[in-house]
Structure 1
Amino acid sequence: MTTVQKIKEVEDEMNRTQKNKATSYHLGQLKAKLAKLRRELINPSGGSSGGGGGLGFDVARTGIASVGFVGFPSVGKSTLMSKLTGTHSETSEIDFTTLTTVPGTVKVHGAPIQILDLPGIIEGANDGRGRGRQVIAVARTCNLIFIVLDVLKPLGDKKIIEGELEGFGIRINKKPPNITVRKKERGGIAITNTVPLTNIDHDEIKAVLSEYKLNNCDVAIRQPGATADDLVDVIEGNRVYVPVIYVLNKIDAISIEELDLLYKIPMSVPVSSREWMNIDELIDKMWETLNLVRVYTKPRGLAPDYSSPVVLKRGKCTVGDFCNAIHKEIAKQLKYAIVWGASAKHARGQKVGLDHVLEDEDVVHIAKK
Structure 2
Amino acid sequence: MGINDAKLNERIAELENELKTTKYNKRTQRAVGLLKAKIANLREEKHKKASTKLAFDSFAVRKTGDATAVLVGFPSAGKSTLLNRLTGAKSAVAAYAFTTLDVIPGVLQYKKTSIQILDVPGLIEGASEGKGRGREVIAAASSADLIIVLVDALHPEQVNVMKKELYNARIRMNLRKPEVKIAKKPSGGINLTGTFTNMTKDMAVALLRELKISNADVIIRDDLSPEELIDAVEGNRKYVPGIIAVNKSDLLDAAAKERINDMIHPDIFISAEHDACVDEMKELIFTRLGFVRVYCKEAGKEADMNEPMVLRKGATIKEVCEKLHREFVKRFRFARIWGKSVKFGGQKVLKLEHKVADEDIVEVHVS
Pair in the same fold by TM > 0.5: yes
Equivalent-residue separation in structure 1 for 2:270 and 2:31 (angstroms) = 46
Q: What pairs up with 1:34-73 in 2 under 5 angstroms?
A: 34-44=39-49, 53-54=56-57, 57-73=59-75
Shift in CA distance, 108/261, structure 1 to aligned 2, threshold 3 Å: farther
Q: CA deviation at 1:186?
A: 0.8
Q: Partner letter of residue 170 of structure 1?
A: I
Q: CA deviation at 1:352?
A: 2.8
Counterpart of 2:18? 13
Q: CA deviation at 1:121?
A: 1.0
Counterpart of 2:297? 298
1:279-307 CA-to-partner distances (Å, cap 9, x unmatched) read 12111111111111111133455433221
Q: CA deviation at 1:120?
A: 0.4
Equivalent-residue separation in structure 2 for 1:6 and 1:228 (angstroms) = 20
Counterpart of 2:3? none
Equivalent-residue separation in structure 2 for 1:3 and 1:245 (angstroms) = 33
The residue matched to 2:60 in structure 1 has which SS?
coil
Q: Partner letter of residue 134 of structure 1?
A: E
When the two structures are superposed, what TM-score results if normalisation uses the length of structure 1?
0.88
Q: Is the 8 A contact 1:334 1:367 kept in 2?
A: yes
Shift in CA distance, 231/343, structure 1 to aligned 2, threshold 3 Å: closer
Counterpart of 1:139? 141
Counterpart of 1:175? 176
Counterpart of 1:213? 212
2:348 counterpart of 1:351: yes
2:362 counterpart of 1:364: yes
Q: Is the 8 A contact 1:300 1:365 kept in 2?
A: yes
Q: CA deviation at 1:161?
A: 1.0
Counterpart of 1:198? 197
The residue matched to 1:305 in structure 2 has which SS?
coil
Q: CA deviation at 1:62?
A: 1.1
Q: Partner letter of residue 351 of structure 1?
A: K
Equivalent-residue separation in structure 2 for 1:52 and 1:108 (angstroms) = 32
Counterpart of 1:278? 277
1:4-52 CA-to-partner distances (Å, cap 9, x unmatched) read 22211111121222234443443333211211221222331566x9x66
Equivalent-residue separation in structure 2 for 1:302 and 1:220 (angstroms) = 50
Equivalent-residue separation in structure 2 for 1:91 and 1:81 (angstroms) = 10
Shift in CA distance, 289/129, structure 1 to aligned 2, threshold 3 Å: same
The residue matched to 1:13 in structure 2 has which SS?
helix
Q: Is the 8 A contact 1:29 1:210 kept in 2?
A: no
The residue matched to 1:100 in structure 2 has which SS?
coil
Equivalent-residue separation in structure 1 for 2:95 and 2:289 (angstroms) = 31
**Could you tell which deviates more after superposition, 180-189 or 276-285?**
180-189
**Could you tell which deviates more after superposition, 260-269 or 87-96?**
260-269
Q: CA deviation at 1:139?
A: 0.6
Q: CA deviation at 1:80?
A: 0.8
Q: Is the 8 A contact 1:17 1:27 kept in 2?
A: yes
Shift in CA distance, 303/60, structure 1 to aligned 2, threshold 3 Å: same
Shift in CA distance, 118/43, structure 1 to aligned 2, threshold 3 Å: farther
When the two structures are superposed, what TM-score results if normalisation uses the length of structure 2?
0.89
Shift in CA distance, 189/323, structure 1 to aligned 2, threshold 3 Å: closer
Q: Partner letter of residue 183 of structure 1?
A: K
Q: CA deviation at 1:267?
A: 5.6
Equivalent-residue separation in structure 1 for 2:25 and 2:298 (angstroms) = 67
**Could you tell which deviates more after superposition, 66-75 or 202-211?**
202-211
Equivalent-residue separation in structure 2 for 1:323 and 1:179 (angstroms) = 31
Q: Partner letter of residue 73 of structure 2?
A: G
| Percent pairwise identity | 38
The residue matched to 1:43 in structure 2 has which SS?
helix
Q: Is the 8 A contact 1:27 1:204 kept in 2?
A: no
Shift in CA distance, 7/352, structure 1 to aligned 2, threshold 3 Å: same
Q: Is the 8 A contact 2:332 2:364 kept in 1?
A: yes
2:189 counterpart of 1:188: yes
Q: What pairs up with 1:237-316 in 2 under 5 angstroms?
A: 237-259=235-257, 266=265, 268-316=267-315
Q: 2:33 aligns with which of 28, 34, 39?
A: 28
